[in-house]
Amino acid sequence: MSGRARVLIRPAEYDDKTLDRVVEEIFDSFACKIDGQKVLVKPNMLSGRPPERAVTTHPSVVAAVVRALERRRAGEIMVGDNPGMRHYGDSSEVAAATGILDVARPYFRNLGQSPRRIRMHNPYAGEVVISGEVLECDVLVTLPKFKTHSLTALTCAVKNSYGFLLGAEKARLHRVARSAEAFAGVVVAVWALRRPDVAIVDAVSAMQGNGPSSRDIFHYGRLLASDDSVALDAVAGALMGLRPDEVKTTVEAARRGLGQADLDKIDIDGPFKAIEGFKLPMTMGRGRFAQIVSGLAGGLFISRPRPDINECVRCKLCMEHCPTSAIRMDPYPVISHKKCIRCYCCLEFCPVEAMKLSRRVSLFRKIGR
C-alpha cells in the first residue's frame, strides 16, 4: 500500500462525556456511511475477566461506540465476539463477566450461532469457519485493547480479528501454523477476510509485560483510531518501543499491500511518543543479559510456560485450551515440552494467571518449531 494513512491519538478516560466527545471525533474523521447500515461492533472479549483487569475492551468504550451509532441512525447494531477456543456457548458468559453484556443490550449477539465456511488465502489453512455476521455486516467497527502478546508481540487491530473464528478453529490454526511467522500469516489472512472500516483502540488502561492476560496494568489514558488497521498497529508498536520488524502481523500485512506500515507515511494526529519504561513480553528478548545472548546464539534461551502450583486452582482450562494437547493434570498441570508449540494459549486462558513464562536453556534444538 503506497498511499498515506492517518492515525488519531486522543487523551481519554472512562467517563461518558469524554468518550462520547472522542468517539464522535473518530467517526467524523474516518467517515463511513452509518445511516441505515448493518453495523458489527467487535470488542476484544478474550475471556471472562472484569474490566479493571484490562484483558478485554472496557465496557465504557463499547457503550460510547453504541451511542455514536445510535445517533447516526444505524439500521442494525450488533455487538459480539468469539471468546475461548473450543466452546461455542461461552460468549454470553464472557460478555457478562466483562461488563459488555450490560452496555450492549439489546444489541449483543452470540457470534457462534451463524457459522460460515469460507476459503482463505494462506498456505496453512485453505478455509476456515467464521461468524456469518462478519461477512453480512455493512460496516465493521473493531475495538481492540492496547496490550502486549507473548506470541505476536502485540495484540491490537489486526489480531483482534482472530475473534472472527469459531470455537476449535482458533486451536486448529495454532496447531498448523506453529512458528511466530507462520501464525502471523494466518492472523493476517483471517483479518483480510473482512477488513474493519474503523478501528478504535482502548488504551485508557493498558497492559504490558507478558500479555495478553498478565497482571501488569498501567494507566495510559488514550484512545487510538484509524481506518487502516495496519497503520494503527504500526503506531501502537512504536508506542510500545517495538521495532517494525518485531510485529510480524504488521510486516505480513504490509508485504501483501493491505495497509501502511511505514511510519514516515502515516500522519499521526495527537501525542506520539514511545512510552517510557514500557515492559515488553519476555519472548521479545529485551532487557536481560540472557535474552541478549539468546539473540546472538540463535535461540540458546527459549521462553516456556510453567505452572505456579501456589496459584493454580486446578480448573483445567489450560489443558482444555491447549491446541496440541501438551498439558495433562497430575494433579497440577504438567507440560510436555516435546508437544508444546509455545503458542502461550495456556497463559491467555488461565483465570488466575498461574501459568508463567520462564527462560530455559535449549542447547540442541528449539522445542516444537
Per-residue DSSP letters for 137-177?
-SEEEEE-B-EEETTTEEESTTGGGGGGB-TTHHHHHHHH-
- Report if residue 93 sits inside a domain: yes
Shared domain for 115 and 12, answered yes or no, is yes
Enumerate residues 6+ apart whose C-beta is below 8 A from 330. none
Residue of 152, 162, 216 whose CA lies nearest to 191: 162
Residue of 348, 341, 289, 278 whose CA lies nearest to 320: 348
Shared domain for 209 and 329, answered yes or no, is no
Shared domain for 226 and 313, answered yes or no, is no
Residue 299 has a pLDDT of 45
Residue 164 has a pLDDT of 96
Residue 364 has a pLDDT of 39
Shared domain for 342 and 203, answered yes or no, is no
Shared domain for 332 and 236, answered yes or no, is no
The answer to whether 129 and 86 are in contact (CB under 8 A) is no
Parent domain of 222: 5-269
Shared domain for 248 and 135, answered yes or no, is yes
Shared domain for 316 and 263, answered yes or no, is no
- Report if residue 274 sits inside a domain: no
- Report if residue 280 sits inside a domain: no
CA angle 310, 314, 319 (to 5 degrees): 120
Shared domain for 145 and 48, answered yes or no, is yes
- Report if residue 279 sits inside a domain: no
Enumerate residues 6+ apart whose C-beta is below 8 A from 171. 85, 86, 321, 322, 323, 345
- Report if residue 368 sits inside a domain: no
- Report if residue 275 sits inside a domain: no
Q: Is 312 exposed, middle or buried (0-12, 13-18, 19+ CB in 10 A)?
A: middle
Joined together, the cell numbers standing for residue 260 give 501502511
CATH number, domain of 53, equals 3.40.50.11440
Residue 366 has a pLDDT of 36
- Report if residue 94 sits inside a domain: yes
Shared domain for 162 and 291, answered yes or no, is no
| Helix residue spans in the chain (DSSP H) | 16-29, 59-71, 91-98, 100-104, 132-136, 169-176, 180-192, 229-240, 248-255, 289-296, 317-321, 345-349
Residue 2 has a pLDDT of 56
Shared domain for 216 and 319, answered yes or no, is no
Shared domain for 139 and 255, answered yes or no, is yes
Residue of 162, 113, 155 whose CA lies nearest to 136: 113
The number of beta carbons lying within 10 Å of the beta carbon of residue 286 is 16
Residue 288 has a pLDDT of 40
Residue 285 has a pLDDT of 60
CA distances from 236 to 57, 124, 184, 191, 278 (A): 16, 28, 17, 17, 12
What's the total number of domains in the chain? 2
> Which of 269, 298, 316 is the last residue before a domain boundary?
269
Shared domain for 138 and 252, answered yes or no, is yes
CA angle 168, 129, 201 (to 5 degrees): 85
What is the mean pLDDT, run by run of 10 residues, along the chain of 369 residues? Answer: 87 98 98 95 94 96 98 98 66 94 95 93 94 97 96 95 91 92 96 98 96 91 98 98 95 97 98 96 62 43 80 91 89 90 80 77 37
CATH number, domain of 328, equals 3.30.70.20
> Which of 222, 242, 269 is the last residue before a domain boundary?
269
> Which of 269, 295, 315 is the last residue before a domain boundary?
269
CA distances from 112 to 14, 55, 126 (A): 29, 21, 21
- Report if residue 104 sits inside a domain: yes
Phi and psi at residue 170, in whole multiples of 5°? -60, -45
